[in-house]
């Protein structure tokens, strides 16, 4: 008598879930294709992608990462020391006091291959959003503020400098806590 099975064997169970790097790569390729076809990014008169400007006024905005910048979310206890390590090399940094995290803005795609503990450092790119405060939110009374304010000419942090500072700080503190 033959044995009847219901459902596929374990080896036939279908595709395995994609890892985070593969998902980011796929998302970036879709955005690149949409951009090529003229469906994603606005273009200025010279054909260049327009530069990003943060919100004005008094409203925090949810901004999609992966278009003008990616974000690197770092737990506050590490982030405070990384700001000191970077000094003038740091671009603008958003502090979420309630979430106890900092966000550095870096060029899109530059953190895709990072291999740092995601319990402390989490790169955010395509398909994620970051709460961005207005440029005027720099005071202690705000729960979401620019702890390192934006300048007119620079808001991005060099991703290699940031990665080196994070790696050094994680080594000095014994990694995640």
Average pLDDT, the chain: 79
Q: How far is CA 3 from the centre of its chain?
A: 52
pLDDT of residue 177: 52
Decide: pTM greater than 0.95: no
Q: In a 3-state reduction of DSSP, which class is residue 10?
A: helix
Stretch 67-79: mean pLDDT, rounded? 94
Model pLDDT for residues 43-60, shown as the tens digit of each residue: 333 333 347 788 888 899
Q: Return the percentage of the chain with pLDDT > 90, whole number.
A: 48
pLDDT at res. 48: 32
**Cβ contacts of residue 150 below 8 Å, gap of 6+?**
54, 92, 135
Mean pLDDT to the nearest integer, 119-146:
90
Average pLDDT over residues 6-31: 57
Q: How many CB atoms lie within 10 A of CB 166?
A: 24
> Greater confidence, 28 or 37?
28
Q: Report the side by side order of strands in the sheet with 121-124.
A: 121-124, 70-75, 101-106, 93-96, 144-148
């Amino acid at each position: 008598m033959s044995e009847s099975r219901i459902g596929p064997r374990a080896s036939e169970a279908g595709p395995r879930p994609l890892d985070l790097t593969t998902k980011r790569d796929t998302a970036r390729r879709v955005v690149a294709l949409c951009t090529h076809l003229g469906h994603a990014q606005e273009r200025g008169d010279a054909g260049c992608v327009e530069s990003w400007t943060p919100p004005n006024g008094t409203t925090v905005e949810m901004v999609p990462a992966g278009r003008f910048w990616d974000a690197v979310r770092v737990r506050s206890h590490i982030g405070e020391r990384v700001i000191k390590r970077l000094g003038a090399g740091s671009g603008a940094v958003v502090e979420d006091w309630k979430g106890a995290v900092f966000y550095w803005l870096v060029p899109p795609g530059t953190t895709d291959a990072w291999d740092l503990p995601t319990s402390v450092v989490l790169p955010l790119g395509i398909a994620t959003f970051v709460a961005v405060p207005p440029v005027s939110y720099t005071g202690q009374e705000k729960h979401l503020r620019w702890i390192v304010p934006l300048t007119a000419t620079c808001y991005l942090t060099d991703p290699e400098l940031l990665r080196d500072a994070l790696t050094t700080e994680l080594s000095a503190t014994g990694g995640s806590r």
